[in-house]
Amino acid sequence: MKVFRPYAKFWLCPLLELVLCDDFSVGSGDDSAGINYFINDVLVTLLSWHSVAVPPVCIASLSKAKV
């Protein structure tokens, strides 16, 4: 995670879009018993960036897209 920290501001929105994508949501496949291990790792990485990358306006656009 420390390796990616300098690039956090560039990767924050694309990774949030990936996490919120319907392809990885719970219940979107035959073996969807819970959160995907890949998405879990992405979320841990995003949370580790809390002091470096603060979500910009992309959060508002993502939330509008989900409604």
Q: Which residues are CB-neighbours of 61 under 8 A, at least 6 positions away? A: none
Specify the pLDDT at position 57: 64
Assess contact for 4 and 45: CB atoms under 8 A. yes
pTM tops 0.85: no
Residue 10 pLDDT more than 60?
yes
Specify the pLDDT at position 50: 84
Residue 6 pLDDT more than 80?
yes
Assess contact for 34 and 26: CB atoms under 8 A. yes
Q: What is the DSSP letter of 34?
A: S
